[in-house]
């Protein structure tokens, strides 16, 4: 069965540190990939998405992710985190050509210490 | 412009009862998906509705059913509630295949 794995369940960083959150998926064919963020008390918001083209995807708030097909990975990065980035981050994948049947990872809780 | 709205925000039900959750999609969106998010887990896809038909379904039993109305709003029904059905239920709407917007969710507690 298709699956999405997030390796880090809880990450604690100091402000200005660099961030990389790992994500691996288990699909063999064409896949669409997403990163969502859920700030405390708020709904899920799309950070960025990859459908095709340039494997380096830039999203909102300075986040970016790189799709590496050979490694089945879609890691999220940010060069310098801020306290306001404290949230839970979800990687997700869809193999059906769009928002048809999205599979989410278990999430990574990021805590940024001022 | 209202985003995705879900009602109620919280509810408590007794095991064996039935529950109906509601979702109004973002204006202009015709596709509604439902997800279940258990504590400490990522959202799990339940099903998706488009043009009043169930288009895709995840690995959920038939106790979970849904409906989409002509105005694109949607309901999620769960029969014979189990304690394990306690979760946050999320609705997402989309107007194109490339983007979806999530509501705040309905927190269901089964006692």
> Each residue of B59-106: pLDDT tens digit?
999 999 999 999 999 999 999 999 999 999 999 998 876 778 899 999
pLDDT tens digits, A34-86: 999 999 888 899 999 998 899 999 999 999 999 999 999 999 999 999 999 99
Name residues whose C-beta falls within 8 Å of residue A28's C-beta, 6 or more positions apart in sequence: none
What six digits make up the tokens of B89?
Answer: 């239920």
B35 neighbourhood in chain A, CB within 8 Å: 104
Give the lowest-confidence range in A11-25, A100-114, B69-83, B89-103.
Answer: B89-103
Pairing of strands A64-68, B106-110: unpaired
Long-range pairs for A45-50: beta carbons < 8 A, 24 or more residues apart = A45/B102, A46/B99, A46/B100, A46/B101, A47/A76, A47/A89, A48/A76, A49/B98, A49/B99, A50/A74
Chain A residues 74-93 with CB within 8 Å of chain B: 90, 92
pLDDT tens digits, B7-49: 999 999 999 999 999 999 999 899 999 999 998 889 999 999 9
Residue B100 forms contact with A (CB below 8 Å): yes
Q: Length of chain B, please?
A: 111
Distance from the Cα of A98 to chain B's closest Cα (Å) equals: 4
Q: How many angstroms separate the CA atoms of B102 and B100, rounded? A: 7
Whether B42 sits inside 8 A of A46 (CB atoms) is no
Whether A99 sits inside 8 A of B42 (CB atoms) is no
Q: How confident is the model at residue B56 (pLDDT cuts 50, 70, 90)?
A: confident
Sign, CA dihedral B33-B37-B41-B45, equals negative
Q: How many angstroms separate the CA atoms of B69 and B52, rounded? A: 6
Residue A27: pLDDT over 80: no
Question: What pLDDT score does B54 carry?
Answer: 93
Nearest to B42 among A46, A96, A105 (CB): A105
What six digits make up the tokens of B46?
Answer: 């339940």
Residue B1: pLDDT over 70: no
What's the mean per-residue pLDDT of chain B? 93
Question: What pLDDT score does A29 carry?
Answer: 78
Residue B41 forms contact with A (CB below 8 Å): yes
């Amino acid at each position: 069965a298709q699956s999405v794995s997030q390796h880090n369940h809880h990450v604690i960083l100091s402000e200005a540190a660099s961030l990389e959150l790992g994500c691996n998926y288990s699909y063999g064919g064409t896949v669409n990939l997403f990163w969502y963020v859920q700030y405390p008390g708020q709904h899920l918001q799309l950070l960025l998405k990859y459908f095709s083209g340039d494997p380096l995807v830039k999203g909102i708030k300075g986040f970016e992710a790189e799709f590496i097909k050979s490694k089945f990975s879609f890691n999220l990065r940010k060069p310098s985190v801020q306290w306001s980035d404290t949230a839970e981050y979800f990687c997700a994948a869809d193999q059906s050509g769009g928002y048809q049947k999205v599979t989410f990872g278990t999430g990574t809780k990021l805590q940024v210490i001022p | 412009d209202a985003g995705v709205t879900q009602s109620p925000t919280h509810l408590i039900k007794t095991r064996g009862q039935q529950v109906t959750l509601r979702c109004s999609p973002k204006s202009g969106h015709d596709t509604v998906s439902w997800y279940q998010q258990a504590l400490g887990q990522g959202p799990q896809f339940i099903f998706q509705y488009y043009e009043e038909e169930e288009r895709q379904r995840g690995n959920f039993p038939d106790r979970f059913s849904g409906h989409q109305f002509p105005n694109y709003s949607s309901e999620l029904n769960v029969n014979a509630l189990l304690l394990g059905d306690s979760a946050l239920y999320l609705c997402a709407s989309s107007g194109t295949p490339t983007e979806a917007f999530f509501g705040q969710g309905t927190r269901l507690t089964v006692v």
